[in-house]
Amino acid sequence: MQAKIEGFVPSLQTRFEGCRFAPRCDRAMTICHQQPPAWHVAGRRQVLCHLYTRGEDVTRLNEPPTVSVPVGSVAQTEAEPEPLLQVDALQVHFPIEAGVFKRTVGHVRAVDGVDMTVQNGRTLALVGESGCGKTTVGKSILQLIRPTGGSVRFDGAELTRLSHSELRQRRSDFQIIFQDPYSSMNPRMLIGDIIAEGMKVQSAGDTPDKRRKRVERHLQQVGLSADSVARYPHEFSGGQRQRISIARALAVEPKLIICDEPTSALDVSVQAQILNLLQELQKEIGISYLFITHNMSVVSYIADEIAIMYLGRIVECGTVRDVLRSPQHPYTQALLSAVPTLDPASKREVIRLPGDIPSPSNPPAGCYFHPRCPQSMDICRRRYPRRSPVNGQHYVDCHLYTSDEPNPSGIER
Ligand code: SF4
């Protein structure tokens, strides 16, 4: 379990007797609640904590912080479960219209042939730079944006062929959590009503009393008190609002939650609380997640499988263990090399990619990554690479690994 700081950031109106961090500190002593600490100076560093003024070994201040940075610590699951979601050749192309008559003069290929699988009770992380099409994939799976082509099979049903009324009946099976929960909540509604909203639509037969009890249970499940039902969204912190949006998603008992950057607006300690909560819920109720993120540290903690996306296509996929320990695609290698580390002994070289991600309205010929790839070859400019297996669970789309092409990089498979 990822280290987390218990409790919540106190209200700005709180009057403190002792150390402001004492209510959340797992090493707090009696004095911490009674008296504010004084600065303790150790060389060029200073710390405001009673531990050090009362004899704690000050050399600890010079130890590097024990922060887990991604590669190497990986989520593990043993059993091979059934697919819940199977996406094949998914395409979402938006027309570009011009002129008085709004003629279509081109298409933005936001998603351009994505394949992925989410297993029952597991987490797939979808990773890539901003603008690569991750969020559009999430919305098109939920049919919030209708795909241009391809297949989305969810729990035995082909979602792309369902009518609006058929989709409405299945909406409770798949939910979405956004980066900014506040924007998805009506500020004039009470929290109890916000959570009960989806339940009313999906389970019209429930009595108000039963519904209220369920809302309270879901609030407690996400670590909030039952009396939160009578409060408004602005009365909660960012992390608490994200908990409320998780409770709202859970209220309709979904099988899959698409988490679209749910922790990227939160500070690190609150981020850990939300990630731990999502993991605990998965263990408890067997829910599956498609976790959209650009943060590799989060991926290594929460996900079982990973798919790396570049300009509307998946370029590498596999188990988190395989992909993070042995990235094969030059883009994945560059992404991982850029993950910050606090270890001063780390000599990892950062691979700097030239230029920006190209426009999806005019993707490059051949491999979409070739204008930025440090290992680009002639064939990369002419032909898109086919998918090659690295092992039974790890795949990469790159000419470096296709058997009919030379491998000038010398990278071991
Ligand atoms: Fe680089 Fe060529 Fe591989 Fe594309 S196919 S990632 S350009 S080596």
Atom of ligand 1 nearest to the CA of 330: 6
**Interval 329-344: pLDDT, tens:** 999 999 999 887 766 6
On the question of pLDDT at 412 being above 60, the answer is no
309 and 132 in contact (C-beta within 8 Å)? yes
Q: Which mutation among 309, 357, 373 tests ligand 1's pocket best, with the greatest number of atoms within 8 A of CB?
A: 373
Q: What is the CATH number of the domain that holds 204?
A: 3.40.50.300
pLDDT at 182: 82
Residues 287 and 252 in one domain: yes
Residues 54 and 76 in one domain: no
Q: DSSP labels for 130-185?
A: TTSSHHHHHHHHTTSS--SEEEEEETTEEGGG--HHHHHHHGGGEEEE-S-GGGGS
Distances (CA, A) of 227 to 181, 188, 193, 212, 223: 20, 17, 13, 11, 12
Taking the centre of ligand 1 as the mean of its atom positions, its distance from the CA of residue 235, in whole angstroms, is 50
Taking the centre of ligand 1 as the mean of its atom positions, its distance from the CA of residue 110, in whole angstroms, is 20
pLDDT at 66: 43
Question: Can you list the alpha helix ranges (DSSP code H) found in 230-326?
Answer: 238-250, 268-285, 296-302, 320-325
On the question of pLDDT at 123 being above 50, the answer is yes
CA distance 274 to 263: 7
CA distance 106 to 94: 9
pLDDT at 80: 58
Q: Which mutation among 331, 332, 375, 403 tests ligand 1's pocket best, with the greatest number of atoms within 8 A of CB?
A: 375
Residues 326 and 186 in one domain: yes
Taking the centre of ligand 1 as the mean of its atom positions, its distance from the CA of residue 357, in whole angstroms, is 15
Last residue of a domain, one of 33, 68, 103: 68
> HSE (CB half, 13 Å, CA atoms) of 375?
18
**Can you tell me which residue has the tokens 């790839």?**
373
Q: Which candidate, 165, 166, 143, 155, places its Cα nearest to that of 90?
A: 143
**Interval 31-54: pLDDT, tens:** 888 888 887 777 667 788 888 876
Using DSSP bridges, classify how beta strands 288-293 and 103-119 pair: parallel, antiparallel or unpaired.
unpaired
Residues 147 and 107 in one domain: yes
Ligand 1 binding pocket (C-beta < 6 A) is 329-330, 367, 369-370, 373, 375-377, 380, 385, 398-400
Please give the average per-residue pLDDT across 123-140, as a whole number.
Answer: 94
Residues 16 and 77 in one domain: no
**Interval 186-221: pLDDT, tens:** 999 999 999 998 888 776 557 888 888 889 999 988
Q: Which mutation among 370, 386, 404 tests ligand 1's pocket best, with the greatest number of atoms within 8 A of CB?
A: 370
pLDDT at 109: 93
Last residue of a domain, one of 48, 68, 88: 68
218 and 251 in contact (C-beta within 8 Å)? yes
Please give the average per-residue pLDDT across 134-142, as a whole number.
Answer: 95
Please give the average per-residue pLDDT across 294-307, as a whole number.
Answer: 91
Q: How many residues does the chain have?
A: 413
**Interval 17-36: pLDDT, tens:** 889 888 888 888 888 888 88
Please give the average per-residue pLDDT across 364-386, as a whole number.
Answer: 95
Residues 250 and 382 in one domain: yes
The domain total for the chain is 2
Distances (CA, A) of 4 to 255, 267, 274, 277, 391: 27, 11, 9, 11, 35
Residues 104 and 247 in one domain: yes
pLDDT at 65: 44
On the question of pLDDT at 362 being above 80, the answer is yes
Taking the centre of ligand 1 as the mean of its atom positions, its distance from the CA of residue 236, in whole angstroms, is 47
> Whose C-alpha lies nearest to ligand 1, atom 7?
370
Atom of ligand 1 nearest to the CA of 379: 2
On the question of pLDDT at 61 being above 70, the answer is no
Confidence of residue 366 (pLDDT cuts 50, 70, 90): very high
Residues 6 and 144 in one domain: no
pLDDT at 271: 83
CA distance 114 to 79: 25
**Range in 27-31, 152-156, 158-162, 328-332 with the lowest mean pLDDT:** 27-31
pLDDT at 41: 75
Residue numbers of the domain that contains 86: 71-413
Residues 263 and 380 in one domain: yes
**Interval 389-400: pLDDT, tens:** 998 899 999 999
Taking the centre of ligand 1 as the mean of its atom positions, its distance from the CA of residue 262, in whole angstroms, is 31
pLDDT at 411: 39
On the question of pLDDT at 100 being above 50, the answer is yes
**Can you tell me which residue has the tokens 């009362």?**
54
On the question of pLDDT at 175 being above 90, the answer is yes
Q: 166 burial class (0-12, 13-18, 19+ CB within 10 angstroms)?
A: exposed
Last residue of a domain, one of 68, 84, 110: 68
Atom of ligand 1 nearest to the CA of 373: 1
Atom of ligand 1 nearest to the CA of 374: 1
**Range in 10-24, 51-65, 286-300, 382-396 with the lowest mean pLDDT:** 51-65
pLDDT at 133: 93
Residues 201 and 259 in one domain: yes
**Interval 231-278: pLDDT, tens:** 999 999 888 999 999 999 999 889 999 999 888 877 777 888 889 989
User: What pTM was computed for the model?
Assistant: 0.78
Residues 54 and 83 in one domain: no
Residues 230 and 363 in one domain: yes
